[in-house]
Amino acid sequence: MILDDFLVRAALAGVGVALAAAPLGCFVVWRRMAFFGDATAHAAILGVALSLVLSTSIFAGVLVVSLLMALIVSLLNGKGYAMDTLLGVMAHSALAFGLVAVSFVSGIRIDLMAYLFGDILAVGKVDLAIIWGGAALVVALMGWRWSRLLTSTLNTDLAHASGIDPRREQLILTLSLAVVVAVALKVVGVLLIAALLLIPAAAARPFSRTPEAMALLAAAIGTASTLGGLQAAYWFDTPTGPTIVSLAATLFALSSLAAHLRLKASRALASAGGRH
């Protein structure tokens, strides 16, 4: 069986996460929700600790805690706290409580680094099914709500006039984000999930004329980063999760440079045309 090869399973897991993270990452960039993604990811460690204490599925524990985090932040938004302050308090509190709770778990050998930075090479067939199931759910949800999410992102007044509830669309986004955090835990770990959401979308932005094009290009960049990072980690014997994110960051730098050079060239052409 081809899935018996751990590198094939790792590649499929990485591609699944990249495809789920791409459209969601675009909305994270458009809505400036970067810190929210980080906060939800940090809460995942608390989910890991609770799963170990209760002897339940790690995925289930992380998903439940991430969903609770998303719901609490959505409910408290606009209740007198600045959003960045609220997210900062909750993110670091959840991470701290999670790390403390893990230290109390006795009789279980815990590789904390695998949860913090991912362990994509240890992905099994069950993990693969969970990752692709979660990715399919997120992609389907984004596709179903795409126009409503776009409208509420661009203009809340226009959304209200169109009969769209922006708070409901915000909740759908946050719940989708929780699912992506849960499925990405094994691939890049809690400290790098936000990077995999943000960087491909940010790299795609300068070259996208439409929101749909940006989502597709972000998916391509995320997939290339995952497969290229996996291969580079295999060649150079480096940590796989950080290598994937490092390659994504390199592609973002190249994208930014190319966009700057293109803008400079267009200005030079406009200036030359003006002189004639």
Give per-residue pLDDT as tens, 131-146. 999 999 999 999 999 9
List the single range of 54-68, 94-108, 233-247 with lowest mean pLDDT.
Answer: 94-108
pLDDT category, 204, cuts 50, 70, 90? very high
Buried b (16+ CB within 10 A) or exposed e, 39-74: bbbbbbbbbbbbbbeeeeebbebbbbbbbbbbeebb
Give per-residue pLDDT as tens, 221-256. 999 999 999 999 989 999 999 999 999 999 999 999
Instruction: Tell me: pLDDT of 276 over 60.
Output: no
Instruction: Tell me: pLDDT of 275 over 70.
Output: no
User: Which pTM does this prediction carry?
Assistant: 0.89
Give per-residue pLDDT as tens, 147-188. 999 999 988 888 888 899 988 898 888 889 889 988 888 888
Which run of H or E residues covers position 48? helix 34-54
- Report all structural domains of the chain as residue ranges with CATH numbers, in order of start: 2-194 (1.10.3470.10)
Rounded average pLDDT over 40-49: 84
